[in-house]
Copies of this chain bind each other. A is one copy, B any other.
Amino acid sequence: MRIALAQLNYIIGDFDLNTAKIIETIGKCIQQKADLVVFAELSVCGYPPRDFLEFDDFISKSNNAVNEIASHCIGIAAIVGAPSRNPDAKGKNLFNSAWLLADGKVQDMANKALLPTYDIFDEYRYFEPNRKFNCITYKGVKIALTICEDIWNLGDDPLYISNPMDILAAQLPDIMINIAASPFTYDQQKTRAEILRANTVQYRIPLVYVNQVGAQTELLFDGNSCVLDSEGNTVSVCKSFDEDIRIVDFNPENKKITSDIPVANEALSKTQLIHDALVMGIRDYFSKMGFSKAILGLSGGIDSAVTLALASEALGHDNVYAVLLPSEYSSGHSIDDAVALAENLGCKYDTISIKDGYNSVLGSLQPYFNNLPFNVAEENLQARIRAVLLMGLANKFGYILLNTSNKSEAAVGYGTLYGDMCGGISVLGDVYKTEVYELANYINREYEIIPLNSITKPPSAELRPGQKDSDSLPEYDILDQILYNYIELRQSPTDLVESGFDEAMVKRVLRMVNMNEWKRHQTPPILRVSPKAFGQGRRMPIVGRYLS
């Protein structure tokens, strides 16, 4: 049996586009004499469809699309992902299903049993878990067909009380097929490879794994669909961060699965993975929102420099407009560094002083400020005037404003709401400051794109004379470790102090993180590259007082 892996980039809710894409791919696979082509989880409607699933009309449209796709399955079978209605009155109204289409119609279906409901996942919000397990058979091949999480419940502390594959394995399938929507994090490729391998080792049959690719707002899907033989060896792998189709041959007699194309063994570094993921994230956000041009404020600091370089790669240098917005506190070298970067990249840039706007608005406020001393009000005012200028240009010309805040700042609330926290999408909001430096060095790997001075100088918001980030924050190498241990690892203050961090500093940092939930609530979606990003994957109370 010749099996094709179809790793495509879908648009949520765009049934016309997704259906056309799937049908076109089926046509290509027929040409390549495939017997079966496999698409990703919820490929017909795009993943994650979120609360669109609550609209009955959305489900009807999805069903219609499945039938339309089925009508093209002549001489080939396809497995697609789409919601299906639960025929039982009891329980949630939908299943998350893998549909087997052949001979022009729906032949069979497998429903997802393990519904990830943690971090960015909300599947039990919509779906009833499957409780009936049967292998499906096509052309005499018995297939254990599962969906994503269904094969992830291994290990000593399993999240679910049962394993679908244990039940299916008892039916002696020839092969496992798992359709997935498994989002990227910088360590997910390794984790995923281990889980897939563990399944083949446990069940001793080959595994065909098809993931989707592309960005869905903050969620980045890397693809990396693959085929493993019954000993856990990788037989075929699709590209990272791009659409791809691969074909393998499966012999049900001896359970051998083979590919004509050797597997390229190129393990990317963490920084390279983050870089490629962010470039895809920017590109897909713009194209799926129907925009082509970005604007951002370029300060001469490292965050906006890295953002500009990434955007320039994602959208093309002539689609990114950098605006330098100096104040009276901006240093000369900041402006020089910003100009040098824009020129290195070949991006259009302009310099618009915020002095007039700042002085004028401050003048309007002064009679009401009761001669109180310069403080955070005036600092924020500068950041907000910058945002007003950038948004004015964005509105006039149809740019999307890129947010340039990093994860360390977002964590401790070191940023101005409605100021530098503005933007349509946050590029670096899941990248700690220390990782931003690594990205900058990676971007400069062949030649100096980002001026070295932007990388080596002490970070500063330049909102008052001589200000440095380290005036009010710990050094970033320490801060980022504390943040990582608290945010990603959910360590307690006691854990942190025991591992050697200063107690007062730990208390202060954790308090800042918790106290600034209200600010993060209003930030743009953040391209997610870590296992615990701010946004829908981290849901904290705003009025909570734990540790604060």
Contacts and interface: CB of A to CB of B under 8 A. Distances in A.
Interface of A: 11-14, 17, 46, 48-52, 54-58, 60-61, 88-93, 117-118, 122, 124-125, 156-161, 216-217, 284-285, 288-289, 350, 352-354, 356-357, 359-365, 368-369, 372, 375-377, 380-381, 384-385, 387-389, 391-393, 395-396, 417-418, 422, 424, 490-495, 518, 521-525, 536, 538-548
Given A12-B543, A57-B495, 19 more contacts: A11-B545, A12-B541, A46-B544, A58-B546, A60-B492, A61-B546, A117-B117, A117-B124, A122-B122, A289-B518, A352-B365, A356-B361, A362-B392, A365-B392, A376-B395, A377-B396, A381-B388, A387-B418, A525-B542
Contact of A13 (B375, B494, B544): B544
Contact of A352 (B50, B122, B284, B368): B368
Contacts of A161: 88, 90-91
A86 B387 CA distance: 48
A387 B396 CA distance: 19
Contact of A392 (B60, B216, B380): B380
B391 A380 contact: yes
Given A117-B125, A125-B118, A363 B356 contact: yes
Contact of A391 (B357, B418, B490, B541): B418
A56 to B, nearest CB: 7
Contacts of A125: 117-118, 122, 539
A125 to B, nearest CB: 5
Contact of A388 (B57, B359, B361, B490): B361
Contacts of A395: 375-377, 380
Nearest to A396: B377
A351 B490 CA distance: 48
A388 B92 CA distance: 46
Nearest to A486: B55
Contacts of A14: 545-546
A540 B50 contact: yes
11 contacts: A13-B545, A55-B492, A289-B518, A354-B364, A356-B364, A357-B360, A375-B395, A380-B392, A384-B387, A384-B392, A521-B525
Contacts of A493: 57
A535 to B, nearest CB: 9
B544 A12 contact: yes
A368 B380 contact: no
A396 B418 contact: no
A457 to B, nearest CB: 27
A271 B515 CA distance: 34
Contacts of A518: 289, 424, 525
